[in-house]
Amino acid sequence: MLTRMVAVFGQRFDSHVVSLTTEGRLATDLRGHGATVHAVQMARGFGTHIGGFARLTRLVKRLNPAVVQTWMYHADLIGGSAARLAGVKAVAWNIRNGELESARGTTRSVIRLSAGLSRLIPKVIVCSSESARQAHERVGYAADRLHVIPNGFDTARFKPDSSARASVCEELDIPQDAPLIGLIARLDPLKNHALFFEAARRLHALRPSVHFLLAGTGVDSQNPLIRRWLTEAGVARVTRVVGERDDIPRLTAALDVATCCSLSESFPNTLGEAAACGVPCVTTDVGDAAAIVDGVGWVVPSGDAEALVGAWDAVLALSRQQRQRIGQASRARIVAQYEIGSVARRYADLYESLANGRQP
């Protein structure tokens, strides 16, 4: 989401992106969109945090930014504190998590500490979803500083693609007429791939021609956990796991059904991207997922494999023309409410208010 925003901002702002640790895989994209990327090289351990915090504070002081926008819990606390020590008053936090029950260890401690400091460090706290706003208000974040700006989607990149189906099926040796259900998500317990495979096992018994496509970091045939799930579900022959890919719009546009089966989300990108591609969506009821697919998708209880199978089966029972109409309505909803340009403008208005000393 940050990379998308920097791309839209272009030359409107002089953007600097600071990583608390290493540059990571997004640095090249960020630089390609005109941002300057810095890495503070913080490591685990109290002593290394002190040195990294000092480097970060000096960097912010040297850059002398009009606004500092931090991104996620540790950056909110560390980056926000460094910015205030460097003399920057226009600080905005950003919260990406829709529920707090899954937070563990230092993250839970950071959340508690940040709640207490939420009236002292940030002028505004941007939440990616309404569920995130409510969850953080409940744990003590300053309610009057919590504002919702949802994720935005590049609808010029994620769009219906009539050629995607044929090319993906040819590449992955999937029959052209096979119904295709997909899950685009990194391997993480919260993404609940175990539920997907259990539902796939049950649907395979009902509809043996259905194929499944999974993509995301760690979701590949070399992963022993993925291999075990494939074997236990008995769906190895009809499942393709392709790992991390740079052609997600093409893979998504090739699907008949896109799925989010997470245990926890704030504002799941995979749903917005699939809807923008005109693909019907089935999702568990997490975060703002139901709001994204309101009226144009299927929502099932989190963790309920039988309900997930029922929703998949209901979508596949529709004619291709019916699915296309649902897909068109899904895309229209994304374009109208979550297009990246309009979302980025909300961030830009926020930054300009902060830079001019106005409370948003």
Domains and CATH numbers, the chain: 2-152+340-355 (3.40.50.2000), 164-338 (3.40.50.2000)
The pLDDT confidence band at residue 99, using thresholds 50, 70 and 90, is confident
**Residue 339, helix vs strand vs coil:** strand
In the predicted structure, residue 46 carries a pLDDT above the cut 70? no
For the chain, give the longest Cα–Cα distance: 63
Instruction: Report, as an integer, the average pLDDT of 274-299.
Output: 94
Q: pLDDT-based confidence at 89, cuts 50/70/90?
A: very high
Nearest to 186 by CA among 257, 260, 267: 260
Distance of alpha carbon 270 from alpha carbon 128, whole angstroms: 14
Residue 278 has pLDDT above 70, yes or no: yes
pLDDT recorded at residue 51: 85
Supply the pLDDT for residue 29.
93
pLDDT of residue 45: 58
Q: What is the pLDDT of residues 158-185, one digit of tens each?
A: 999 999 999 999 999 999 999 999 999 9
Q: What is the pLDDT of residues 18-39, one digit of tens each?
A: 999 999 889 999 999 999 999 9
- Find, among 357, 355, 360, the residue nearest to 13 by Cα: 355
pLDDT of residue 114: 95
The pLDDT value given to residue 256:
97
Lowest-confidence region among 45-49, 66-70, 110-114, 229-233: 45-49
The DSSP result for 220-258, as a single string, is STT-HHHHHHHHHHT-GGGEEE--S-S-HHHHHHT-SEE
pLDDT at 48: 55
Average pLDDT across the chain, whole number: 93
Instruction: Of 284, 289, 271, give the one whose Cα is nearest residue 327.
Output: 271
pLDDT in tens, 186-244: 999 999 999 999 999 999 999 999 999 999 999 999 999 999 999 999 999 999 999 99
Q: How far is CA 28 from CA 33, 37, 75, 300, 357, in A?
A: 9, 9, 21, 38, 33
Tokens of 129: 């979803």
